[in-house]
Amino acid sequence: MFLIDDILLAPLNGIIWLGKKINEVAEKEFSDEGLIKENLMQAQLRFEMDEISEEDYNKQEDELLARLDAIRKAKEKEA
């Protein structure tokens, strides 16, 4: 009986495993300070090259700085 259950549930278990891995990667990217700093530099460069407006730049900068602040606060709580 358990073998049949394992066979029938294998696709579901694979989807669950895949979902967990995607979540891990997303959390890692969201909490990577280096990536956020890189995005800040890219936004600044695009603004300086007149590819985006000052309003767009300020919006991106505010979002990225808020994420960076949240990451640093979360790290302080862990320590």
Contacts of 47 (CB under 8 A, 6+ apart): 53, 54, 56, 57
Q: Strands of the chain (E only): list them.
A: none
Token pair for 37? 């700093």
Token pair for 19? 């979902």
Question: What percentage of the chain has pLDDT greater than the value 90?
Answer: 48
* pLDDT band (50, 70, 90) for residue 1: low
Q: If you search the block for the tokens 């709580």, which residue do you land on?
A: 77
Summarize pLDDT for 40-70 with one digit per residue, the tens: 999 999 999 999 999 999 999 999 999 999 9
Token pair for 67? 């994420």
Question: What ranges do the domains of the chain cover?
Answer: 1-30, 32-79
User: What average pLDDT does this structure show over 37-41?
Assistant: 94
What value does the mean pLDDT of the chain take? 88
